[in-house]
Amino acid sequence: MTTKAMTEVKTNKLTLVQAVTDGMRTMLSEHDDILVLGEDVGQNGGVFRATEGLVHEFGEDRIIDTPLAEAGIIGTSIGLAINGFRPIAEMQFLGFVYPAYEQIMTHASRIRSRTMSKFSVPMVIRAPYGGGIRAPEIHSDSVEALFTHMPGIKVVVPSNPYDAKGLLIAAIEDPDPVLFMEPMRSYRAFKSDVPEGKYTVEIGKAATLAEGDDVTVIAWGNMVSVAQKAVEEMTKQGVSCELLDLRTLYPLDRETIVASVKKTGRVVICHEAPETGGVGNDVMALINDEAFLYLRAPMSKVAGFDTPFPFFALEEEYLPTPSRVSHAIKEAVTF
Amino acid sequence: MTEMENQFPIVQVMDGDGHIVDASYHLTESFIKEMYSKMLRARTLDKKSVNLQRQGRIGTYAPFEGQEAAQVGSASALEEGDWMFPTYRDHAATLTFGHSVSTIMLYWKGRVEGCVPPEGKNIFPPAVPIATQLPHATGAALAEKRKGTDRVAIAYFGDGATSEGDFHEGLNFASVFKAPVVFFNQNNGYAISVPIEKQMNSKTIAQKGLAYDMDAIRVDGNDVLAVYFETQKAIEKARNGEGPTLIEAVTWRYGAHTTADDPSKYRNQELSLEKRDKIDPLLRLERYMKKQGFWDDAWKDQVAKECDLEIEQAVEEMENFPEPDVNDLFDHVFKEPTWTIKKQKEAYLSQKRGETV
Ligand SMILES: Cc1ncc(C[n+]2csc(CCOP(=O)(O)OP(=O)(O)O)c2C)c(N)n1
Ligand SMILES: [Mg+2]
């Protein structure tokens, strides 16, 4: 559920990346215990300008250019978090999170468990991710499943400016670690209304972007716009499509997913991460557990392949397209 | 100067004005001209690549202009069969060591073929994740040692890279195993926007060798002669079984971090203009040659023309390179594709064929 923007609240037309900045600025100005750490986040304002201007407003003590070391950024953030601060740590790209994986896996995500809640890590890890912008190799990895598989960390992915700000603020307020994935291809793709000031989009809640009876199409992040195009096309062809933007990948929004599938009986999941071990499998497992008898066709996935994300000359072949999603929808409704 | 700067003075053979400050080397006209030509060739490639990016003919590109002496000088000290582990900014080094120009450009055109070195050249693909290549160089060097050859490995990396764990692990392993490897640091003063003073409190990068009891030296990275001779000494030492060396080449990148970066956000670009005049690697050789009386405008024009021609031909080659083959996406993940990959490939290709009918 979304905190309703009050009618008198002013809104601004922002891009997704501007909404991220706005979310950080809103929280930084209200709470001194929030810090921003990362490579090039200060003077440079981040390589995508996500922290643009923050160092001038909040100073170098709070907007911290760190040495080039992801394990250092996350490890230090853990130390800050267990001792009274709420760090927002930036990984310059999700594809460079790997040196920090140990810190996240063996500490950030399990300190609460290990100490029976004596220590906790209220940290947000922000990371741009995903393909489609002709980036050099490694920069386009979409490895959400490495984190949904990790007990003790929540994973959220906005697909639009409004959700980006609201989810980011919810993530900052969350008492536990949250990976906040930022879909690079959607950073400046469009602007939409973003309320000024504080509001939240609840973690764990999907958004229903289109209502329909024949098939449930499920996507997140960059793939929402891809799925949307497919849904528009198939709607024209007379297929009544429901479109869910998951927004949170762990924990999944069981209620919304299950209710939708009980209504439509057909499921197409779209993600850009490799198919094997992808979050699509968890969605399918949930449906299998809770709505199996409602299914009228096999569930299907339109996903990246079990290959490393290709060099950009081939990225359009790798990334799911509206036509691949449409194809899967057709197969589902004609089964 | 701080204690560490005293302990690791910047070694120079020739200063920015083209004066010889260390006369212990025998410098021939042909050697000087060879170094100049190699650097000009690299600079031509770099400038062309920046232009190609601006015209949308390649993707994001990481320029190295200003760092030619560090890369060309060090790579010239290698021999056939040695190993090179470059980063995304080290095309002057790979070019000098025998990489093909069109292949280097293909890399920035988003083509995986850009990672494949010419036959017989031990050039690893550029390391994009910072500092990951240092342990590889240690391992490859260790392999040569175990095979009983006298081949060595060289790893290139930046000042920012020394903050990553892999830098320290690579150096420590090399030290413990006495691996025949040269760690060649290009300290260009910045890691994207972060100046070295914010990256570390260490006053030099060379001093980081002390922690691993490793020989370390600091050279003027814009002095191709100092770089060449010092790298050669480190390589000889490695070949003779005397272990690794850390070389810090102090240099400067004139331009942006990559074509996607705007350096005016974080530094005064006037400084680069000043450096172009005061410490440029090519200009100082030109000044030296003029003093020696063997500079010749006609010779320079001829070399420049040859470089232009070669690079233009390579651009043509790059642009006429066969279109990317979608099969390559699936066929090189494993020696034998798994059933998952086979299934995904078949499904995708048949759907694709269906769509285009
Ligand atoms: C592990 C990792 N983190 C972050 C990045 C993003 N990044 C690319 S280059 C760079 C700066 C590197 O600076 P330095 O080592 O000094 O080399 P230079 O670019 O100056 O040649 C950063 C942070 C990366 N490529 N890999
Ligand atoms: Mg640097």
Ligand nearest the Cα of residue B193 is 1
Cα–Cα distance, B115 to B126 (Å, whole number): 7
Mean pLDDT over B98-117 rounds to 98
Both structure tokens of B331? 């066929």
pLDDT of B219-237, one tens digit each? 999 999 999 999 999 999 9
- B134 vs B169: CA distance, rounded Å: 8
Q: In angstroms, rounded to a whole number, what is the distance separating the alpha carbons of residues A40 and A220?
A: 28
% pLDDT > 70, chain B: 99
Average pLDDT for residues B346-352, to the nearest whole number? 94
Q: Which residues in chain B have their CB less than 8 angstroms from residue A96's CB? A: 129-130
Angle between helices B29-54 and B101-108 (to 10 degrees): 30
Residues 132-171 of A with CB under 8 A from B: 134-139
Tell me which of B328, B339, B349 to substitute to probe the interface with A (most A C-beta atoms closer than 10 Å). B328
Shortest-distance ligand to the CA of residue B91: 1
Residue A138 in tokens = 């490694």
| Helices within B109-223 (DSSP H only) | 133-147, 165-177, 196-199
Q: Do domains A11-195 and A207-333 have the same CATH topology?
A: yes
pLDDT at A6 over 70: no
Catalytic residues of A: 139
- The position carrying tokens 């979310």 is A23
Alpha carbons B118 and B5: distance in angstroms, whole number: 41
The closest of A282, A43, A244, A41 to A148, measured between CA atoms, is: A282
This complex has an ipTM of 0.97
Nearest Cβ partner of A43 from B111, B193, B330?
B193
- Which of B192, B254, B272, when mutated, tests ligand 1's pocket best, judged by the most ligand atoms within 8 Å of its CB? B192
Q: What percent of chain A has pLDDT over 70?
A: 98
Cα B199 to averaged position of ligand 2 atoms, centre (Å): 10
**Integer Cα distance of A84 and A76 in angstroms:** 13
Domain A11-195 in this protein, CATH class? alpha beta
Question: Could you tell me if B68 and B94 are in contact, meaning their C-beta atoms sit under 8 angstroms apart?
Answer: no
- Closest among B71, B65, B69, B6 to B218, alpha carbons compared: B6
Q: Does A72 touch chain B (CB under 8 A)?
A: yes
Out of B43, B91, B99, B257, which one is annotated catalytic?
B257
- Give the pLDDT score at B1: 83
For residues B64 and B46, what is the distance between their CA atoms, to the nearest angstrom? 7
Assess whether pLDDT exceeds 80 at residue A318.
yes
| pLDDT tens per residue across span B310-328 | 999 999 999 999 999 999 9
Ligand 1 atom at minimal distance to the Cα of residue A138: 25
Which amino acid is residue B218, in one-letter code? R
pLDDT at position B356: 46
Q: What percent of chain B has pLDDT over 90?
A: 98
In chain B, what residues touch A315 (CB-CB under 8 Å)? 110
- Decide if B181 contacts B82 (C-beta within 8 A): no
List the structure tokens of B231: 């790298």
* Cross-chain Cβ contact B165/A47 below 8 Å: no
Tokens read off for B126: 């550029």
d(CA A305, CA A227): 17
Q: Do B329 and A98 touch (CB under 8 A)?
A: no
pLDDT, average across residues A79-95 = 98
Select from A283, A266, A271 the least CA-distant residue to A320. A271
**3-class secondary-structure state, position B331:** helix
| Three-state DSSP class for residue A105 | helix
Return the residue of B nearest to A38 by Cα. B194
Contact A157, A220 (CB under 8 A): yes
Contact B345 A305 (CB under 8 A): yes
Per the annotation, the verdict on B146 as an active-site residue is no
Which residues on neighbouring strands pair with residue A201, listed in sequence order?
A2
Give yes or no for residue A69 CB within 6 A of ligand 1: no
Rounded to the nearest 10 degrees, what angle do helices A161-173 and A16-30 cross at?
30
Give the DSSP letter string of A133-171: S-PPTTTT---THHHHTSTT-EEE---SHHHHHHHHHHH
The DSSP bridge partners found for residue A89 are: A37, A125
- pLDDT band at A7, cuts 50/70/90? low
- Average pLDDT of chain A is 97
For chain A, what are the domain ranges?
11-195, 207-333
Distance, CA of B4 to chain centre: 26
Q: What is the CATH number of domain A207-333?
A: 3.40.50.920
Q: Do B129 and A96 count as a contact with CB atoms less than 8 A apart?
A: yes
Residues 6 or more apart in contact with residue A94 via CB below 8 angstroms:
A127, A128, A129, A130, A141, A142, A143, A181
**Which residue in B182, B213, B190 sits closest to B265, CA to CA?**
B190
Interval between CA B24 and ligand 2 midpoint (Å): 31
Instruction: Output DSSP code: residue A46.
Output: -
- Residue B123 CB less than 6 A away from ligand 1: no
Contacts (Cβ under 8 Å, ≥6 apart) of B293: none
Closest residue, chain A, to B106 (C-alpha): A313
